[in-house]
Amino acid sequence: MERVKKDFETLAEEAIDNIRADRDQTKELLKDLVKYLSSDEHRHKEVGLIAAKYVETLQRSNEQLVKIATLQKKGEKASMDLSQSERDDIFDQLNEGVNDVKKNKKDS
């Protein structure tokens, strides 16, 4: 289990680094495109779809980061196991609740 967690962490770090690099590159391309567009209004028809693709790439990278964060959070939750004494306490509390319900039904 520890190896899987380490592999996930390594892959997640690599994915995040790649996402950040892609975002930086896309931002630079988008800046260049905005400069190109600002010099002539008619260029929007020419490169509008390209600009949309750049923005779509940035949105996708946000979604990827959210997915990685969600997976990481799920992994943290899975690693929070209860000790035997904690399980026993919960079991005892549940039994007390069941006994209370039974007693209340009897008294009614």
- At 8-21, the pLDDT tens digits run 788 888 888 888 88
Residue 105 above 80 pLDDT?
no
- Average pLDDT over every residue of 77-101: 70
Q: How crowded is residue 101: how many other Cβ atoms within 10 Å of its Cβ?
A: 10
Query: Does the global pTM surpass 0.75?
Result: no
For the chain, the domains span 2-81
Contact 83, 27 (CB under 8 A): no
More confident residue, 19 or 2: 19
